[in-house]
Chain A
Amino acid sequence: MTETPALSVRNLRVEFPTRRGTLAAVDDVSFDIAPGEVLGIVGESGAGKSLTGTAIIGLLEPPGRVAGGEIRLNGQRIDNLSREAMRPIRGKRIGMVFQDPLTSLNPLYRVGEQIIETIRTHLPMTEREARARAIELLIEVGIQGAERRIDSYPHEFSGGMRQRVVLALALCAEPELIIADEPTTALDVSIQAQIIQLLKRLCRERGTAVMLITHDMGVIAETANRVAVMYAGRIAEIGPVREVIQSAHHPYTRGLMGAIPSIEGTGDRLTQIPGSMPRLTAIPKGCAFNPRCPHAFDRCRVERPDLMPVDHSLAACWLVAPVSAEPPR
């Protein structure tokens, strides 16, 4: 990739100071997203997916904080900006979509008011221009009768329609990056596909980069160009979506894929990964996955693997380590 990535994250570390010491909820996470590209982030609950997204947009709740690394938006470093300098970037250059459309909109304001407010916060527009733009956006996200519906309250929309409104809100200042945090989890299955298609189309048309956080591999397979698999705060594997899904290199990724039912399935039992992800207070020595890994060997229990290139992907697993990469002891 020669062009500047829309988003570039380098060695990001998010810490929570607690009474029992500092916990690293996100540890040494690096990835790029090119303009127009969709990067899926998958992992179990608590793997640090959402925190990564929250850290990028600068909305970590204290005492959580970015303790290390760099975040660059089209080359500009944004992780060290002040609160006031970060505010115009949120909404304008980074849009965000949250999980639950039922609670993402303020119930006391008409949807139009909320869109117009956001537009006018970021763009020099009059009330009238902003309203016209809000209607355009609503039409674009597929709200029937947008001229009328703009004056409805959120409770007068269904869940899927509300998520469309949320998309319109995230897109209203033409951001360079959209962080979609489980955008379909709270929706009916039948609606999920529509919203995903819509998100994909809107971002492709605009060349917007998307960071799609989800635990739904189906959504990833459908939407993402590349996928990063997170485990216990670190990236276990990152690579092109086809490769990761069909020939994963990391045993954890293979385990995740084995847990997806397929239509062609011959009635075999779904494989499941034994045990559960360690708590942040008790991450094992070596590879965090080693207690659950069917292929773990001695090295996995003492030394933590970094991401290593394999095919077109990177995987943090000693199984893929070239023999020559063995560090001297």
Chain B
Amino acid sequence: MLAFTIRRIFEAAIVMLTVALMAFVLFRFVGDPVNQMVGQDTTLAEREELRERLGLNDPVIVQFGRFIWNAARYDFGISYQVKRPVTSLIAERFPATFELAVTAALFAVLLGIPMGVYTGIHRDSWLSKLFLSVSLIGISLPTFLIGILLIYVFAVQLGVLPSFGRGEVIRIGGWTTGFLTASGLKALILPAITLGLFQMTLVTRLVRSQMLEVLRTDYIKFARARGLSDRAVNFGHALKNTLIPVITIIGLQLGAIIAFAIITETVFQWPGMGLMFIQAVQNADIPVMSAYLMLVAFLFVLINLIVDLLYVWIDPRVRIYGREA
């Protein structure tokens, strides 16, 4: 188990190094950062001095090493645009994205799994068919369109929910939360649905197809022949066996939710990292972009690691392979 964990962590470190290389290359691609930092009337000597001070005259490998060293200490430099440390920008923006992503993920899982189980068990009921038709819409409509439709219906026509922003937030230490105020919660509903709808339909369809497969297996037939209740068979025996692929997908999708909150945040002017990233792209704000890249990669790697460890917890057979590995 320990060896398994260590191996996974080692693999994760390699992935992070690769991503760091890409994030670093970003800087090299967009040319001389000094040009963007100084005014028109700066002398060549001053430029040279700045270059020396920033370490831009060092060999590339040294610069890369310094980039990694700084990143490891959670230092991504100063934003070109707003002239503040990137990390403090992220710290401001992260809670908004995190709360949105968690709400969207909960929405997707808490609705998606029961709907998947239901449609898997009652294959031919009209409710299953309704769920599946609705999920088809969720899968095929692009996110921004869903967002705009929701705004049109609930904010413009019905006027019951806000169309943009986070509402009132409460500051707890360095964290701002919208969970504790009525307007914060209300503001969360539409973006969370927009962001989570695709994932929910994905979870529904995945759980459904897994259930259909598992329900055909011998051990389910045997469980029925043992006279276990439908509840025990469907939820105790069948659902647990569908969880491995479902957790994999949910894990990956959680990363995707955070990473691709960009569109939803733009539609709803949600003050999170996605919006920050879009603004950084528009202004060629490389430190922000590379920090965002590193952070998202880190989240993906972390989630994957957790998913791997969850496998071991769910499926005893993996423990053996883990031990041998």
Contact = CB atoms under 8 A, between A and B. Distances in A.
Interface in A66-100: 87-92, 95-96, 98, 100
Interface in B190-243: 217-219, 221-230, 232, 236-237, 240-241
B314 interface: yes
A155 interface: yes
Interface in A89-114: 89-92, 95-96, 98, 100, 103-109
Contacts of A98: 218, 221-222, 225
A96 B222 contact: yes
Given A104-B218, A105-B219, A117-B232, A59 B224 contact: yes
A314 interface: no
22 contacts: A88-B227, A91-B227, A91-B228, A96-B225, A98-B222, A98-B225, A103-B217, A104-B218, A104-B222, A106-B219, A106-B237, A106-B241, A107-B316, A107-B317, A108-B314, A108-B315, A109-B237, A117-B232, A121-B227, A121-B228, A153-B316, A173-B227
Nearest to B223: A106
B62 interface: no
B15 interface: no
Contacts of A87: 227, 229-230
Contact of B219 (A103, A118, A122, A170): A103
**Most chain A beta-carbon neighbours within 10 Å: one of B225, B236, B240, B315:** B225
B60 interface: no
Interface of B is mostly: helix
B316 A122 contact: no
Interface string A154-192: 010000000000100110010000000000000000000
A121 B228 CA distance: 6
Given A107-B315, A121-B232, A91 B225 contact: yes
Contacts of B232: 117, 121
A107 B219 contact: yes
Given A121-B226, A121-B229, 7 more contacts: A59-B225, A103-B218, A104-B218, A117-B232, A118-B227, A121-B227, A122-B227
B137 interface: no
Contact of A118 (B226, B240, B241, B317): B226
B38 interface: no
Interface in A175-215: none
Contact of B228 (A104, A118, A153): A118
Interface of A: 57, 59, 87-92, 95-96, 98, 100, 103-109, 117-118, 121-122, 153, 155, 166, 169-170, 173
A10 B221 CA distance: 25
Contacts of B240: 108
Contacts of A105: 219, 222
Interface of B: 217-219, 221-230, 232, 236-237, 240-241, 314-317, 320
A146 B320 CA distance: 21
**Most chain B beta-carbon neighbours within 10 Å: one of A104, A155, A169:** A104
Nearest to A92: B227
Given A107-B316, A117-B232, A155-B320, A100 B225 contact: no
Contact of B317 (A104, A155, A166): A155
A160 to B, nearest CB: 17
Nearest to A89: B227
Contact of B222 (A92, A107, A108, A166): A166
B224 A100 contact: no
Contacts of B227: 87-92, 118, 121-122, 173
- CB-based closest 5 A-B pairs: A91-B227, A90-B227, A96-B225, A103-B218, A91-B226
Contacts of A118: 226-228
A155 B221 contact: no
A90 B222 contact: no
**Most chain B beta-carbon neighbours within 10 Å: one of A107, A166, A170:** A107
Contacts of A104: 218-219, 222
Contacts of A121: 226-229, 232
Contacts of B230: 87
Contact of B226 (A100, A107, A169): A169
Contacts of A96: 222, 225-226
B206 to A, nearest CB: 18
Given A104-B219, A106-B219, A108-B240, A155 B316 contact: yes
Contacts of B225: 57, 59, 90-91, 95-96, 98
A90 B232 CA distance: 14
Nearest to B316: A153
Contacts of A122: 227
A52 B320 CA distance: 40
Contacts of A109: 237
Nearest to A155: B317
Nearest to A57: B225
A268 to B, nearest CB: 40
